[in-house]
Amino acid sequence: MQAPAIPEDEEKRLESLWALNILDTIPEERYDRLTRLAKRLFGVPIALVSIIDADRQWFKSSIGLDAKDEPRETSFCGHTILGDDVFEVQDASLDERFHDNPVVINSPHIRFYAGQPLKAPNGSKIGTLCIADQHPRHLADEDKILLRDLARMVESEIAAVQLATMDDLTMLSNRRGFESLAQHALHICKRLEKPATLLLFDLNGFKRVNDELGHAGGDLVLQNFASMLSHAFRNSDVIARLGGDEFVVLLTNTKLDLAKKVLARLESMVDDHNLLDNSAYNISYRIGIIEYDSVKHIAITDLIDEADKLMYTQKKESKNKNI
């Protein structure tokens, strides 16, 4: 048996996959409808939407197969994502890569397989739409076009779900997307006993920006600050615009002291921006910083609420000092 190779962009690919928050979610009709369609159009007993995780393939939709996931090293789909086009195995029992594969010599006794890679909105290949049969067969050119078209439909559904969790203006996660991703990240931190720190930002005097510069000027400020957040923090950190002028970052595997050092990088970027920007508004912000406590913070909203209270207290104290 030949295990699939690991793509050169594996780190980016996995980050893109995990950002979609699709793994281990419940079955959805939007995907089951397409696998049922593939099964009927191709006359095969098995059709899958298969997602390739770090060490497994997980089935978002599975028609004709009872398993929820399988090891990546025995997967046909792991080979499929190494290319851009339809990957076809006409008779696995005669193919040196698969003839002794567990799913070939044991149930479900796969002989024919064809899969088209599925891409995330950023182009990373996250899985496949695939069909399989217990009998050898091959796809005509028209069949391959059809499989590609069905895969594009799956990609459209994935993109639609992602758009519902993104902020249109800044292209960061919105509140819904952040709470979903961050909650998943906290569960991982708790299970692995890793630290995490949440940073809650509130831009100062932002109402004045809209009043004086108009909404276009305000939108530009929000986009600039979002861009600085994206560049200052790591790709693995969960960054979002909660709404209005509120932003949040969850840093996983990061204690409070390290979070403050990373924050210094953002402060430097903001200072540089303000020096070079010719607008009437200099970006500044209040911030609430809270270190994750797995006993105290059951949900991500607990962290947000505590950071918000801290920020409010700091704002009140600042006002009192100015009296």
259, pLDDT greater than 50: yes
Q: Which two tokens stand for residue 270?
A: 């903001």
Residue whose C-alpha is closest to residue 197's, from 103, 61, 297: 297
| Mean pLDDT of all residues in 19-45 | 92
Average pLDDT, the chain: 91
Cα distance between residue 90 and residue 132, in whole Å? 10
252, pLDDT greater than 90: no
**pLDDT for position 13:** 93
Q: Which two tokens stand for residue 94?
A: 């005669």
Domains along the chain with CATH numbers: 10-163 (3.30.450.40), 175-321 (3.30.70.270)
* Choice among 52-66, 99-113, 270-284 with the minimum mean pLDDT: 270-284
Are 240 and 169 a contacting pair, CB within 8 Å? Answer: no
Residue bearing the bigger pLDDT, 281 or 322: 281
| Mean pLDDT of all residues in 16-24 | 88
Cα distance between residue 19 and residue 240, in whole Å? 12
CB atoms within 10 A of CB 256: 14
| Mean pLDDT of all residues in 293-309 | 94
| Mean pLDDT of all residues in 188-204 | 90
247, pLDDT greater than 50: yes
**pLDDT for position 54:** 93
Computed over its alpha carbons, how large is the radius of gyration of the chain?
Answer: 24
**pLDDT for position 322:** 54
Are 139 and 147 a contacting pair, CB within 8 Å? Answer: yes
| Mean pLDDT of all residues in 289-294 | 94
Cα distance between residue 3 and residue 73, in whole Å? 5
| Mean pLDDT of all residues in 267-279 | 89
**pLDDT for position 323:** 46
**pLDDT for position 305:** 95
Write the CB contacts of 15 (distance below 8 Å, at least 6 apart in sequence).
235, 236
pLDDT in tens, 209-244: 888 888 898 999 999 999 999 999 987 788 999 999
Q: Which two tokens stand for residue 123?
A: 């182009």
* Choice among 37-51, 124-138, 178-192, 281-295 with the minimum mean pLDDT: 178-192
pLDDT in tens, 61-110: 999 999 999 999 999 999 999 999 999 999 999 999 999 999 999 999 99
pLDDT band with cut points at 50, 70 and 90 for residue 318: low
